[in-house]
Amino acid sequence: MFHYTSIAEYHARLQEASLTCVQAVEHYLTQIRSKPQLNAFIDVYADEALAKARELDRQRLEGTPMGRLHGVVIGIKDVLAYKDHALTAASGILKGFTSVYSATAIERLLAEEAIIIGNLNCDEFAMGSTNENSVYGKVLNALDESRVPGGSSGGSAVAVQAGLCMVSLGSDTGGSVRQPADFCGIIGLKPTYGRISRYGLIAYASSFDQIGIFSTTVPDAALLLEIMSGADEFDSTVSHREVPAYSKLLNGGEKYRIAWLDQALEHPSLDPEIASGIKQKLEALKAEGHTVQPEKFELLDYIVPAYYVLTTAEASSNLSRYDGIKFGHRTAAKDTDLTELYKRTRSEGFGKEVKRRIMLGTFVLSAGYYDAYFTRAQQVRQLLCRKMDELFKSYDFIIMPTSPVTAFKAGEKTGDPIAMYLADIYTVMANLVGCPAISIPLSTHSNGMPFGLQVMANRFDEVSLLRFSQQLHS
Ligand code: GLN
């Protein structure tokens, strides 16, 4: 019987020949088939994955050295380009579109012999917090199917939560990896902005977007990060900094300087059980010898509005390319002039939430309102960056909840977009300032659902973030 624990243990079993890659892939295909109601996968590349597994088994038996992700079964969010595979961002507007190249991150996984088993459901264009905005229908939380898995990378979270693949990729513009990880009881890592190339990641808000990782162990996340990170000539915003061997730097008993923000833990929207779970954890960390201190923070109520002004502005520009001419869907209506063709194509192709955000973004960028909204939101972003720079002079980490509540019931917030947006209160900060952040499972609420702890570190300090995460999770 196959039981996955970590990449290292899987590799050890392959090497001692008590398991093959084909057996692993067959196991996941069976699991995927047994849970169709979760709706995590859009496409399953069954034949391809099996063929690749056979090839890897053959090479290994011949004595070829194993790649660092040899036979690792990975699912990818439907916003990542994988050459010759359908790519739709869970949107009607990209129906029928096939990738003509692969994202750099995907190329790097494949170069290390990963097996991509399929692409995963998500909110349309990664806009949402519940995975209810997908043209393929909603995704269910495997721990309680009446609840959402979180979003926008809901399929990626559930695929790992329910054991449908070993690790998965998502994208995180405002929490879309950390929040579903929190709702599903797994690990979700958003690296520093620019750590991983965005080439081949469908853009939502380009100055926020970052590819992220879902896993059940810290070493697995560290290994994927190490493989995907680093300079790439196809993304001018990616960092050229050297990539540390994250996966080899995880162990150490350092005592860290940790801050928590008074306003974050005292916020009225925070579930009292989550607040007390986090406070207890802070006490425990103190008892273990870490320095744990409260810090005054007064900007919390500005960050969700700033995030939604800036990201919708960027989205309205990024999504202008879907016009019925270059990609995917084009209206079937005949006798239309060009403007009418654009209008009909976009009206038919985009879902409600995406339309709402394009309109919001167009509004905040319009000449008459630009200064009142866009410029002000940029100022808030600047203030936040300054505040974080100041905090990271004295601290290694900031600890916060990942989400103010546990997984919502399906449909609970769909009628109230503002309430949905406000629940992003703890995750959008890391994207506004570009810092890396991780959600680590912490405890279980009396409602039976898991909740996590979010740790944020200074830009490009993934080494400390992962070392500390390893302490927290082991
Ligand atoms: N929930 C946030 C939003 O709807 C985050 C999305 C994301 O990170 N892609 O914008």
Which structural domains are found in the chain, ordered by start?
Answer: 1-474 (3.90.1300.10)
pLDDT tens, position by position, 243-301: 999 999 999 899 999 999 999 999 999 999 999 999 999 999 999 999 999 999 999 99
Task: Evaluate: CB of 374 within 6 angstroms of ligand 1.
Answer: no
| pLDDT of the residue at 326 | 87
Residue ranges of alpha helices (H) inside 319-412 are 338-349, 352-365, 370, 376-394
Q: In the chain, what percentage of residues exceed pLDDT 70?
A: 100
Task: Evaluate: CB of 353 within 6 angstroms of ligand 1.
Answer: no
Task: Evaluate: CB of 204 within 6 angstroms of ligand 1.
Answer: yes
Q: Averaged over 186-212, what is the pLDDT?
A: 98
Q: How far apart, in whole angstroms, are the C-alpha atoms of residue 210 and residue 201?
A: 9
| pLDDT of the residue at 335 | 86
pLDDT tens, position by position, 297-346: 999 999 999 999 999 999 999 999 999 998 889 999 988 899 999 999 99
The burial class, CB within 10 Å (0-12 / 13-18 / 19+), for 26 is middle
Atom of ligand 1 nearest to the CA of 173: 8
| pLDDT of the residue at 474 | 81
| pLDDT of the residue at 419 | 87
| pLDDT of the residue at 438 | 98
CA-closest residue to ligand 1 atom 10? 127
Task: Evaluate: CB of 124 within 6 angstroms of ligand 1.
Answer: no
Closest CA to 128 of 168, 188, 170, 164: 170
| pLDDT of the residue at 128 | 97
Q: How far apart, in whole angstroms, are the C-alpha atoms of residue 254 and residue 187?
A: 21
Task: Evaluate: CB of 361 within 6 angstroms of ligand 1.
Answer: no
pLDDT tens, position by position, 11-33: 999 999 999 999 999 999 999 99
H or E stretch covering 117: strand 115-120
| pLDDT of the residue at 327 | 85
Query: Which residue among 176, 303, 421, 439 is best mutated to probe the pocket of ligand 1, counting the most ligand atoms within 8 A of its Cβ?
Result: 176
The CA distances from residue 272 to 74, 97, 211, 401, 403, in Å, are 36, 46, 31, 11, 12
pLDDT tens, position by position, 396-434: 999 999 999 999 999 999 999 898 999 999 999 999 999
| pLDDT of the residue at 158 | 98
Task: Evaluate: CB of 176 within 6 angstroms of ligand 1.
Answer: yes
Query: Which residue among 156, 173, 208 is best mutated to probe the pocket of ligand 1, counting the most ligand atoms within 8 A of its Cβ?
Result: 173
Indicate if the pLDDT at residue 1 is higher than 80: no
**Joined tokens for residue 182:** 């929190």
196, β-bridge pairs? 229
**pLDDT confidence of 111, banded at 50, 70, 90?**
very high
CB of 110 within 8 A of CB of 56?
Answer: no
Mean pLDDT rounded to a whole number for the chain: 97
* Cα end-to-end span (Å), the chain: 25
| pLDDT of the residue at 465 | 98
Atom of ligand 1 nearest to the CA of 431: 8
Task: Evaluate: CB of 431 within 6 angstroms of ligand 1.
Answer: no
Atom of ligand 1 nearest to the CA of 311: 10
Give how far the C-alpha of residue 90 lies from the chain's centroid of Cα atoms, to the nearest Å: 15
| pLDDT of the residue at 291 | 98
Residue ranges of alpha helices (H) inside 175-247 are 178-184, 218-228
Q: How far apart, in whole angstroms, are the C-alpha atoms of residue 162 and residue 141?
A: 9
* Backbone dihedral angles phi then psi of residue 65, each to the nearest 5 degrees: -60, 145
Q: Averaged over 47-73, what is the pLDDT?
A: 98
Task: Evaluate: CB of 126 within 6 angstroms of ligand 1.
Answer: yes
Q: Report the catalytic residues.
A: 77, 152, 176
**Joined tokens for residue 180:** 């579903």
The burial class, CB within 10 Å (0-12 / 13-18 / 19+), for 429 is buried
Atom of ligand 1 nearest to the CA of 208: 8
Atom of ligand 1 nearest to the CA of 420: 1
Question: For the chain, how many helices (H) and strands (E)?
Answer: 17, 11
Query: Which residue among 80, 132, 148, 152 is best mutated to probe the pocket of ligand 1, counting the most ligand atoms within 8 A of its Cβ?
Result: 152
Closest CA to 151 of 168, 170, 128: 128
What residue has token string 């999504």? 319
The 3-state DSSP composition of the chain as helix, strand, coil percent (nearest 5) reads: 45, 15, 45
H or E stretch covering 473: helix 462-473
114, β-bridge pairs? none
Indicate if the pLDDT at residue 380 is higher than 80: yes
Q: Averaged over 359-387, what is the pLDDT?
A: 97
